[in-house]
Chain A
């Protein structure tokens, strides 16, 4: 039977096991939308802005480990995907975006809704394709999914001219891909594995830096084995949260600009860094010149170009983390470092004395909101954050026990990511309690997806942490710009009335005593629910390593007795 290009797209999605796609129709993608009517097995979620579709696909991918799919039309539809692609690119999230393109004969003529989409998205995709014939279409689809989910995962865009979607041919799906220059998995050199194991054995003050790669490689068990075997404390990157249960005695917590002070001190005083599936982002290292000066460094990452990029290392191993750790673990003998661990405990105690969670002020404090959410959700929800103060506070005050239970835009820091990504995550893990934890600023960037959530009856809880400011920018203005709050105070709509307009059950919380009831209310509602937490306007996120400062040069929250 002859199938149209649009139908072939759907057939390919079926072959790839896709059952939900996020998108927005338009002229150049209409033949594929028309084909959807014949494929009820694949559920299409109509978004309100294509950026939302890309973030939903991303959230779905992060929540499931499977490839998320977004679909949009040519021109503005495709350009609206760009932020979502860049977000997925920075955080190695596997998504495939399908875009319509004007008919082949019109390409290059500035036709209506024509944009050079493969050109525009070249730097923000792992790879992209412009399909130039229907015969090529199944190969391209196969390759797109393969590239997205293998090696260092990432976004792939497939641009399909309208006439290719209309043309017909007999459907076939290739069994394998032939990509001459694509090398998804490098093999670890045996001598490197041996020297890494020896360095681990010799270290007195080792620390593991666990990143997103742990989850992407599925190396949670291996991480834990290595840490426990050699008694190595573990610091997590923002995207590494969940790599190991945060209640584990060896887990110190998040590192970096707003990381746990003990983690940053430990890194700066370590004699060995074991960096696993992380990329030494500037938000993690601070000043590179003084970064972990006395430490030897082992770096294991699937992407060879990450080795020695920011931090020169003694042993760099490019390879799949799970495989490489399996090679290393048998070469390491059981050991522990009680003095080193005790030293880290001291740093941790100093932090808990400063902890805002122990202060009692009149108003609602964001950290207490997040910590109470943790408490009343049993610490077991899937939280999807936006970007800013609430995100860092989530990372600090919502410890996660399981992998892929905190989803957040790390590398790109995309405001507006949280809410749509939470919708995508819920589609991926419908059985789990999903909370979108967003600020009042970022939420307003993509809150049009409220309609999507209602139309799709998505059972998610939206927690808006409302301080009436672009809080993180305000914090920088307070510290570095003498409190000149240029363009950070925000007029906000009445979020509860806004929810009413969408028919979304809602609640406003301004006192800590309401927290338990708020969570209970959220849980009682099937479908979207919105809770606005009105918090202190000028709260700060501590600790803070100023951009470019030494990692242990942290601005700390003063200890209570030092106040006034």
Chain B
């Protein structure tokens, strides 16, 4: 399996956004009002505390990715955007899958399946156990198919995170403004 995955109908967009309240809402609101079909949206912090990073997978039939990127740039809190579907990139999804392991055969089957996949048991119980898998979304789909006959009782996925390969780096040297009056000028505070 190669790292490259170019499913034609999906587009993967990565974005650096300011890490402040309401920014996720602004992005989601944009997608909703422009009628873009979001497959998956993840957001998390980066090594720069003032920047968060989003990976957005969209159905590209409705809107060309260039339109989506241009619209994302119109949001004041969006710092950098890149559409990476045509580039080489690594993408990962993480799943926690709780399966039935209340008899020896199902438990054995689960361990067997975990060996064939980038998956491991992270919680083992007499009734149910949790399988963790970090892989490309398609691999996780295969894992789910494999586990389904045993009995999946609960499942959660993080959604896709992606990063371009090589030296094409999505970063920003932007430093946030310190929004305060000079310390000497700090005013009195009182509450109402």
Contact = CB atoms under 8 A, between A and B. Distances in A.
Interface in A299-323: 303-305, 307-309
B166 interface: no
Interface of A: 2, 103, 105, 118-119, 122-123, 126-127, 130, 133-136, 139, 147, 152, 162-163, 166-170, 172, 178-183, 303-305, 307-309
B179 A179 contact: no
Given A122-B25, A139-B179, A162-B192, 15 more contacts: A103-B192, A118-B22, A135-B186, A136-B179, A152-B74, A166-B192, A167-B187, A172-B181, A178-B177, A180-B174, A181-B17, A181-B73, A305-B67, A308-B64, A308-B66
B77 interface: yes
25 contacts: A122-B25, A122-B29, A126-B76, A133-B179, A134-B187, A135-B180, A139-B177, A162-B192, A163-B191, A166-B192, A167-B187, A167-B189, A169-B181, A169-B188, A170-B187, A180-B18, A181-B17, A181-B18, A181-B73, A181-B76, A181-B78, A181-B80, A305-B67, A305-B74, A308-B64
> Which of B70, B71, B176 has its CB near the most chain A CB atoms (within 10 A)?
B70
Contact of B76 (A134, A182, A305, A309): A182
B120 interface: no
A168 B75 contact: no
Nearest to B180: A135
Given A123-B33, A308-B64, A169 B185 contact: yes
A112 B188 CA distance: 27
B40 interface: no
A121 B177 CA distance: 25
Nearest to A127: B76
B78 A167 contact: no
B181 A135 contact: yes
> Which of B22, B177, B187, B191 has its CB near the most chain A CB atoms (within 10 A)?
B187
A303 B78 CA distance: 16
Nearest to A161: B192
B172 interface: yes
A183 B71 CA distance: 12
Contacts of A2: 187-188
Contacts of B67: 305, 308-309
A181 B26 contact: no
Contact of B190 (A103, A139, A167, A303): A167
Interface in B54-96: 64, 66-67, 70-71, 73-80
User: Nearest 5 A-B pairs (CB), nearest first?
Assistant: A169-B187, A305-B70, A170-B185, A180-B174, A178-B177
A2 B187 CA distance: 7
B79 A180 contact: yes
Contacts of A162: 192
B73 A123 contact: no
Contacts of A139: 177, 179
Contacts of B29: 122-123
A162 B192 CA distance: 9
Contacts of A181: 17-18, 73, 75-80
B149 interface: no
Given A179-B76, A304-B73, A170 B181 contact: yes
> Which of B26, B80, B172, B181 has its CB near the most chain A CB atoms (within 10 A)?
B181
B76 A147 contact: yes
A7 to B, nearest CB: 11
B8 interface: no
A308 B64 CA distance: 9
Contacts of B77: 181
Contacts of B177: 139, 178
A119 B185 contact: no
A329 B71 CA distance: 29
B16 to A, nearest CB: 8
A390 B66 CA distance: 39
A127 B78 CA distance: 12
A168 B73 contact: no
A64 B179 CA distance: 32
A308 B189 CA distance: 52
A180 B172 contact: yes
Given A2-B188, A118-B22, A304 B174 contact: no
Contacts of A127: 76
Contacts of A103: 192
Nearest to A136: B179
Contacts of B25: 119, 122
Interface in B152-192: 172, 174, 176-177, 179-182, 185-192
Nearest to B81: A181
Contacts of B33: 123
Nearest to A304: B70
Contacts of A178: 176-177
Contacts of B191: 105, 163
Contacts of B185: 169-170, 172
B188 to A, nearest CB: 6
Contacts of B70: 303-305, 307
A162 B191 CA distance: 11
Nearest to A162: B192
Contacts of A118: 22
A421 B76 CA distance: 28
Contacts of A122: 25-26, 29
A181 B186 CA distance: 29
Nearest to B188: A168
A152 B174 CA distance: 23
Contacts of B172: 180
B192 to A, nearest CB: 5
A172 B25 CA distance: 31
A134 B181 CA distance: 9
B176 to A, nearest CB: 7
A159 to B, nearest CB: 11
A120 B63 CA distance: 25
A285 B180 CA distance: 49
Contacts of B78: 181
A303 B33 CA distance: 18
B187 A183 contact: no
Contacts of B188: 2, 168-169
